[in-house]
Chain A
């Protein structure tokens, strides 16, 4: 029954099977699952483990290692503020405080609507401080109008 219901959207198992024979296939599959669903659920971890003939613990170990592999549903607004040295040198800490008060969450926290995470370098170090809003990079974020750049 479940298979019929999810016809329009590949399940975790189907995604995993597509990448079964590729180098690094487990990680490719997990990345794609996060891209599709926003996170990897426990059930999906088990599906991936079955396809790759790994133990569930091994897949859990992989998921818990990487920052990108989320294990909870993600809100629609995802903000990441760079905390690395080049950004620190031109006010990343102040920018972080400003974003925190704009969003009403602390760094590393998340609500149903928004998440705010640290990121260590977006490669915009000569135009620091930088941040990322739903995957879109922003340089000189200190000069940005946050209300304009972050969807409410």
Chain B
């Protein structure tokens, strides 16, 4: 009896997986549409399971399907036994261990929620504190402080809000998780609700991810049917309701206060902090806001213990990080490893160098508001602290590779342009600074009064960094200044 697996996730479908699935069906083989394992470079992948072995195939096209069933491991597109694929074997999957193994709506066999329903909030929060988990959305703020604040702040109705507005270029971990293992997120948010006393949750998902929306909504419906959500979770008498909310196209809604405004149905303009959302969030109530991966780490922490999680990683960068390797690289995809791995091991080890075959000139780490680094810095270990020393941030874990054809002046221009397009407009440094920055950078690219304009850029960046209300304006200077500092020759032609 042979079973074939063809992913239904966006990365696979966008590369033609539906045609592969149709060819498998034509062949009369039983098919499971699984999530993605994160080997995006090999999508569409296909796996066949027979006689206790599970073989993987990469970059499959529909016409390959009949020969795959005949030739098995002899087939040119065979990647080998799934458990022996180097790209996966070298990873430590605490969050993504189930992603890609089965249909995303197959209920996982886990007893973590059941066990936690009997624990008191204090012990759950203590577990998070022991784990050292820090927010995976970008800021890296210690999670337990937020949890405890929401728990301690009085309020009739408290909320759990998941930020799935994954707008950073070069990131797709939230999407892969929601499409491959949606129950993990549901479970993580439910556990957060039990710990903080919040009985209502929302997942704010960007509209650019329609496939994720469909899968996650189906998982929510199933979770209600299975009594994993609702007013009496697994007969415990404890309640947690969860709803999916789709955004309407605005990068800024990934900023937590802007997201809350949007969730309230308003313009996604950011709020002035303080008060922080943990004290006054959704409708002014205590609200725990975390990124998808932060919540998704919770079941593993509760199941294996905070100490187990803290043992992974280095120093205050505990646990695993889902790095996302993208851009001009041979093997881009999702790489979940403990903190402490070097940039080089990700970019060249996992990634296999540039896709174009040309020398790598720079990477941008941490999304559109992240720094451009030089290959000389690739021996830096990926920890919050070591990356901060470079004047950069890990952000949501995105690493975008560029070869030597990149023009950093153009990238700096783009950083301002992106800020101009996506600024919410509430504060002047961001709303106007982005426009003036773009104009000034155009002048530099044209070679007009370059030195004078570079001084203006520096002044402007200082204003944006110190006077913007949120990180959109506050961090736009990072890609700009890191590019000028490391690649001055691109600005003075």
Interface, chain A (partner B; CB < 8 A):
23-28, 30-31, 52, 61-62, 65-69, 84-90, 118-128, 130, 132, 135-140
Are B169 and A66 touching (Cβ within 8 A)? no
- Return the chain B residue nearest A125 by Cβ: B326
Q: Determine if B327 is an interface residue (Cβ-Cβ < 8 Å).
A: yes
Binding stretch for chain A, among B141-149, B248-256, B443-451, B452-460: B248-256
A–B pairs, 29, beta carbons within 8 Å? A23-B265, A31-B246, A62-B266, A65-B250, A66-B250, A67-B249, A67-B250, A69-B249, A84-B170, A85-B364, A85-B368, A86-B169, A86-B170, A86-B326, A89-B402, A90-B327, A119-B208, A120-B167, A120-B169, A122-B208, A123-B166, A123-B175, A125-B172, A125-B327, A126-B41, A126-B329, A127-B15, A127-B332, A137-B10
- Return the chain B residue nearest A120 by Cβ: B251
B332: A residues at CB distance < 8 A: 125-127
Q: Determine if B127 is an interface residue (Cβ-Cβ < 8 Å).
A: no
Are A123 and B171 touching (Cβ within 8 A)? yes
Binding stretch for chain A, among B191-199, B305-313, B384-392, B414-422: B414-422
Are A85 and B249 touching (Cβ within 8 A)? no
| A66–B248 CA distance with the chains assembled, in angstroms | 6
B414: A residues at CB distance < 8 A: 85, 88
Contact of A27 among B11, B262, B324 (CB under 8 A): B262
| A132–B10 CA distance with the chains assembled, in angstroms | 11
B262: A residues at CB distance < 8 A: 24, 27
| A66–B250 CA distance with the chains assembled, in angstroms | 6
B401: A residues at CB distance < 8 A: 89
| A146–B171 CA distance with the chains assembled, in angstroms | 26
Are B406 and A28 touching (Cβ within 8 A)? no
Q: Determine if B378 is an interface residue (Cβ-Cβ < 8 Å).
A: no
| A89–B351 CA distance with the chains assembled, in angstroms | 15
Are B169 and A67 touching (Cβ within 8 A)? no
- Return the chain B residue nearest A85 by Cβ: B169
A26: B residues at CB distance < 8 A: 265-266
Are A23 and B406 touching (Cβ within 8 A)? no
Are B264 and A24 touching (Cβ within 8 A)? yes
B41: A residues at CB distance < 8 A: 126-127
Residue among B14, B40, B170, B424 having the largest count of chain A Cβ atoms under 10 Å: B14
The total of interchain contacts (Cβ-Cβ below 8 angstroms) comes to 156
Contact of A121 among B168, B263, B356 (CB under 8 A): B168
B487: A residues at CB distance < 8 A: none
A138: B residues at CB distance < 8 A: 14
| A15–B356 CA distance with the chains assembled, in angstroms | 50
B329: A residues at CB distance < 8 A: 126
B208: A residues at CB distance < 8 A: 119, 121-123, 132
- Return the chain A residue nearest B424 by Cβ: A65
Chain B residues numbered 130-174 whose CB sits less than 8 Å from any CB in chain A: 166-172
Are A65 and B356 touching (Cβ within 8 A)? no
A65: B residues at CB distance < 8 A: 250, 267-269, 424
B326: A residues at CB distance < 8 A: 86, 125-126, 128
Q: Decide: A68 near B267, CB < 8 A? Known: A85-B170, A90-B355, A139-B11.
A: no
| A123–B212 CA distance with the chains assembled, in angstroms | 11
- Return the chain A residue nearest B16 by Cβ: A139
A27: B residues at CB distance < 8 A: 248, 262, 265-266
| A88–B408 CA distance with the chains assembled, in angstroms | 12
Query: B38 to chain A: closest CB distance in Å?
Result: 9
| A138–B19 CA distance with the chains assembled, in angstroms | 13
Query: A110 to chain B: closest CB distance in Å?
Result: 16
Q: Decide: A137 near B13, CB < 8 A? Known: A86-B327, A89-B327, A126-B326.
A: yes
Q: Determine if B245 is an interface residue (Cβ-Cβ < 8 Å).
A: yes
Contact of A89 among B243, B246, B400 (CB under 8 A): B400
| A30–B167 CA distance with the chains assembled, in angstroms | 21
Are B14 and A67 touching (Cβ within 8 A)? no
Q: Determine if B202 is an interface residue (Cβ-Cβ < 8 Å).
A: yes
Query: B429 to chain A: closest CB distance in Å?
Result: 19
Query: B413 to chain A: closest CB distance in Å?
Result: 11
